């Protein structure tokens, strides 16, 4: 099972994820993705869903038209783990490709 990140691991991981912020009130990270329209936003979600399902690690996320708000945390571990970092990196890559 994934272990919670140490402070050093967390600092190193977040340095590689400049668009993500530590969520308020939860040991989690959060990013709001803004696309051009719903087609692009849901296209991102569809690609990210396939990656998440393959990783067996799923985001908490919401969508309003062209905006997708994502929160990542590892429920089993009670906080942030390397699985969240891996999914965040994958989502960043998907959003860049568009």
The piece of 2-10, 25-33, 57-65, 77-85 that touches a copy of itself (CB under 8 A) is 57-65
Q: Would you call 90 exposed, middle or buried from its count of C-beta atoms within 10 A (0-12, 13-18, 19+)?
A: middle
The piece of 9-17, 24-32, 60-68, 89-97 that touches a copy of itself (CB under 8 A) is 60-68
H runs (alpha helix) in 1-98:
7-15, 38-55, 82-97
38's tokens: 């719903």
The verdict on 28 binding a copy of itself (CB under 8 A) reads no
CA gap 41, 66 in Å, rounded: 5
The verdict on 64 binding a copy of itself (CB under 8 A) reads yes
How big is the chain by its Cα radius of gyration, in Å? 13
The verdict on 39 binding a copy of itself (CB under 8 A) reads yes
The verdict on 76 binding a copy of itself (CB under 8 A) reads no
Residues of this chain that interact with a copy of itself (CB under 8 A) are 38-39, 42, 45-46, 49, 52-53, 58-65
């Amino acid at each position: 099972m994934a272990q919670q990140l140490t402070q050093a691991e967390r600092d190193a991981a977040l340095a590689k994820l400049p668009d993500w912020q530590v969520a308020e009130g939860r040991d989690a990270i959060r990013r709001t993705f803004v696309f051009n329209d719903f087609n692009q936003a849901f296209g991102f979600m569809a690609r990210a869903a396939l990656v998440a399902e393959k990783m067996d690690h799923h985001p908490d996320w919401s969508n309003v038209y062209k905006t997708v708000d994502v929160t990542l945390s590892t429920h089993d571990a009670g906080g942030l783990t390397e699985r969240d970092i891996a999914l965040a990196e994958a989502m960043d890559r998907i959003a860049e490709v568009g």
